[in-house]
Structure formats: structure tokens, C-alpha cells
Amino acid sequence: MAGYTDNYERDTYGIIDFWVRNNFEHGEFFDREISHHELELARANQQMVDRMGKIFKKTESKTGDIGLIIDEAKSSTKEFADLLMHTMDRALHCDVIISTPTSLLDHMIREAEEAERVFKLIETNSYITPADATLHENNFWLRQMLDHLLFISHYVDASNYELHDQVRAMTRKFENLLLQAQALKTIIRRPRNEVSPVLNTFNQMVIKEAKALEAFKLELSELIKACAAVTTAPPDLLEHIAREAHHLWKNLEDQVVN
């Protein structure tokens, strides 16, 4: 599958690459949805895309000082998050012409904030226990997975009745998984010195479902790329969210936040 980087190397360069590429692609997707009435916003967004593109060229070649790359990744991510937050505020006041749903702006902001957290973890070389790490990953990413299914419904044309049914069934499944993740966060209290059997069972269930979701997204991606599905999704969007599903189950297997 050309271009699908599900198996990026999980060294420090690889982790920074994942997050910077994530924001870079958000900028590219957003670019398609800004009205020509919003030239200033389009230009500011384009500058972000250019800036982040330069960083992940460096992380891809695995050259350059990690400290400097993280500084640059941190400041560009923050600036991008600020631009999205400002846009979301304008959207809430019906003061901007874009076709991006407000919940999708919020989704991208949350991923930018998570990127900032991960950069900080790398910088401070922090250790997170396997139980804390998997509870965090489940709580953060299951909400994102649920959003992805809602966004698939948004982009896939209403005429795809069978597909909408399928997406709805998966949405229900991920709603349940998210609720369970939220419940376990308070049921399993700190200090969390072990991955208890209950947490382990849940993690294994999420790993299985995230793998199935990744496969579904890649299948739909093939259809969209071949222009064989009626949709307004950007061509690379399904690969983007498949990579995030992969990121979730891989982090659960490794019991880390990154």
C-alpha cells in the first residue's frame, strides 16, 4: 500500500515524525475546506503546512539535533493549535466560511495538544507505568476513533446506505469502548502498579477492535483512491485515520504513551 506508513520506526525520530506528519496532514485537509472568501486564513494555514513539512523532512532523514527538532516541532504545533482554536471560536460565532465541522476542528486541536504532551514526555524522559499508559491511550484515542467514524459518515455520501449502516454499527461499538475506558479510569485508582487482569482483558479487546477498524479504513481508502465510492473525503484522509488506529493498538501492545 503505497504511502501508508503504519510501521514507522518507534525511535525518537519516528515518534516526532508521526506527530508532525499528523499535524501537517490536518493542515492539508483543512486547506481544501477553506472558502475563497477566507484568503487570510488560507495563507496562515499554508504557512503552517510548509513549516511542518520542513520538520518531517528532517525527522524522515533521521538527521539533525533531536533537541532542536523538538523545539521546532513544539512551537509549530502550538502555533497550529492556536490557529485552529481561533478558527473554532470564529466558527462558533458564525464568523468564518469553511466546510470543516466544528467537532473536526476540536478533534485536530486535541491531537495537536496530545502531540505537545508527547514532545514534553520525550524531552523530560518521563516514565509512565504500563497501567497509566494504557488507560491514557484508551481514554485519548477511543474518543478519536469514535470521532473518525462520525467523520466518515460526514464525508461518505448519503446514497451509500449499506456503508452508513456498517459505520453506525462500529460507532456503537466504539461508544461502548470509550465509556468502558472512562469507567476503568476511576475504577482502577492510583497508584497503578500493575496491569490488572480486568485492564488487560479490556486492552486486548481494544487491540482487536482497533485492528479491525484499521483494516476497514484501509479498505475504504482503496475505494476512495480509485474514485469508486461517492464521497467528499480527501484522498489521503482514510489512510491518515487508519494510521491513528494502528498507533492506538501498537501503543497498547507496547504499553506506552507516544
Contact 77, 116 (CB under 8 A): yes
d(CA 18, CA 6): 10
171 part of the interface to Fe ion, by CB under 5 A: no
Binding mask 91-120 for Fe ion (x = CB under 5 A): --------------------x---------
Q: Which residues, 224 to 253, sit near Fe ion by CB under 5 A? A: 244
Q: Which residues, 134 to 163, sit near Fe ion by CB under 5 A? A: 144
- DSSP state letters, 170-192: HHHHHHHHHHHHHHHHHHSPSS-
Pick the closer one to Fe ion by CB: 72 or 244.
244
Residue 146: count of CB within 10 angstroms of its CB:
20
Minimum distance of Fe ion from residue 191's CB (angstroms): 31
The radius of gyration of the chain's CA atoms, rounded to the nearest angstrom, is: 18
To which residue does cell 469502548 refer?
177
Pick the closer one to Fe ion by CB: 114 or 131.
114
87 part of the interface to Fe ion, by CB under 5 A: no
d(CA 205, CA 174): 11
Pick the closer one to Fe ion by CB: 22 or 203.
22
22 part of the interface to Fe ion, by CB under 5 A: yes
Q: Which positions touch Fe ion (CB under 5 A)?
A: 22, 111, 144, 244
